[in-house]
A and B are shown apart, each in its own frame.
Chain A
Amino acid sequence: MKDFDFIVVGGGLVGCSIAYGLARQKHRVAVLDGGDRSFRASRGNFGLVWVQGKGANFAPYARWTGQAANLWPHFAEQLTAESGIEIDYQRSGGMHFCLQEQEWDERVSEMELIRQHTDGMFEYEMLGHDQVKALIPQISSNVLGASYSTQDGHVNPLYLLQALQQGMDCHQVRYFPNQVIDKIEARQDGFHAHATEGVVSAGKIVLCAGLGNRGLGDMLGMDIPLVVDRGQIMITERLQPFLNLPTLHVRQTAEGTVQIGYSHEDVGLDDGTSPSVLKKIARRAVTMFPFLQRVRLVRAWGALRIMTPDNNPIYQQSAECPGAFTVTCHSGVTLSAMHAGPVAEWIAGRAEHNQINHFSTDRFNVSQN
């Protein structure tokens, strides 16, 4: 029998961050990961470490994402030191372009709301066209202006995942790929996951399996409501640097590749691409940066975001099976610093975290009168 302190189910950015955080506290951790055919949000995402625009509808999330972004510089430094992997993290500030007056007005109200939610911890500026152009000379005259926050940044999400896995290895995490879990037993002596590897046992278990959390949650008495949201991304040839800070729609990587994205679709469990959506994404990018229409695309892909009914994360300990936790969110990159730090401490029982209570599934339950 394989015996651990913690089983983490899921080896994406969320699971690896939690496992890395637990292992740094000297716990014995097993990660049960899926296979290459699993849906992999962590391998399809855009790489933003993002604050602006998050949590306008939910003050605790606005504060949470802000804290995550503040933890990031130290987190990145520590992760690179331990793993030896450079992850191209930069807290460069970030922009969201507005093309029309109405968009601008909506953006101002949204940003102001987040500033109030965070008691001013979130700082932003609205930049007019000339101010944007001073920072990004390639910008088109179609862009009216932008919201800008110095708290935003970006990272190479694939290097981040690799660094977390290397970090797990440094702290003796056992990693089991290609696992299918048939059954999880919750007994007096702990949790027993019946996986492809055999039975893996631990005192506590953390579900970080993205869209798989719904089915796994059922095994542990947790009702985890999830919504699938497909995003598509296009990747260009490598170009000379022209964009030294990320935007919500266009980001240039350290190597010179340009990522063009931002779409939302409800198409179920289909992580493919569609010409109509790619066309819309491309048109918007060309509106912002006209020279992009002469740039060659080398690939495109789709990935499935793991959303909740109110788009905010879920952190939950099972009432029915104490010791079983779920972590579900779509911002695996930004929140990685929180997951490896405060959330791992909360799961290990080392820290009370009053803020985490806001993120339980209780918020979805209609009160019975």
Chain B
Amino acid sequence: MFRRIEQTGSDSVTVRIDNREFQVPAGISVAAAVLLCGFRKVRNTPVTDSPRLPYCMMGICFDCLMCIDGVPNQQACQVEVRDNMAIDYQRGAAELLQQE
């Protein structure tokens, strides 16, 4: 669905999205990575369970919330991909994380 305009940098990182491994360009956002890898949703909404994709890509709309490295409700467009990052769908409202 999406492709990159520029093909300049050759560095890439490996991320796991929904438990599948992908090579993505270093320096892009998690939201861009998810779109580039062809995913059709990043989350389901807490109230109506409807699927969502990133929308504004600039930190305003909060539609791209994902669970990144185990931390729920992160704005995927505001987080840069890192090697070995675990990226998962945000399914509804966040679980309550208890203190260790």
Q: Which residues of A contact B (CB under 8 A)?
A: 138, 237-242, 255-256, 290-291, 293-296, 298
Residue of A nearest to B62 (CB): A298
Contact of A240 with B95 in the complex, beta carbons under 8 Å: yes
Chain A proximity of B47: nearest CB distance (Å) = 5
- A291's partner among B46, B47, B99 (CB-CB below 8 A) is B99
Q: Which residues of B contact A (CB under 8 A)?
A: 46-47, 62, 65, 72-73, 92-99
- A256's partner among B46, B62, B65 (CB-CB below 8 A) is B46
- B98's partner among A238, A241, A291, A296 (CB-CB below 8 A) is A291
Known: A237-B72, A291-B98. 17 other contacts (CB 8 A): A138-B96, A237-B65, A237-B73, A238-B73, A238-B92, A238-B93, A238-B94, A240-B93, A240-B94, A240-B95, A240-B96, A242-B96, A255-B47, A291-B97, A295-B97, A296-B73, A298-B62
Chain A proximity of B78: nearest CB distance (Å) = 12
Known: A255-B46, A290-B99. A239 touches B94 (CB 8 A): yes
Residue of A nearest to B99 (CB): A290
Q: List the 7 shortest-distance A-B pairs measured between CB atoms, nearest first.
A: A256-B93, A238-B93, A237-B73, A238-B46, A294-B97, A256-B46, A240-B93
Contact of B93 with A239 in the complex, beta carbons under 8 Å: yes
Contact of A239 with B96 in the complex, beta carbons under 8 Å: yes
Chain A proximity of B71: nearest CB distance (Å) = 8
Counted as pairs of residues, one from A and one from B, with CB atoms less than 8 Å apart, the total is 38
- Can you list 25 A-B pairs with a CB-CB distance of less than 8 A? A237-B72, A237-B73, A238-B46, A238-B73, A238-B92, A238-B93, A238-B94, A239-B93, A239-B94, A239-B96, A240-B92, A240-B94, A241-B93, A242-B96, A255-B46, A255-B47, A255-B93, A290-B99, A291-B97, A291-B98, A291-B99, A293-B99, A294-B97, A295-B97, A298-B62
Chain A proximity of B13: nearest CB distance (Å) = 25
Which B residues touch A295, using CB under 8 A? 94, 97
Which A residues touch B93, using CB under 8 A? 238-241, 255-256
Separation of A162 and B29 alpha carbons in the complex (Å): 38
Residue of B nearest to A255 (CB): B47
Which B residues touch A241, using CB under 8 A? 93
Which B residues touch A290, using CB under 8 A? 99
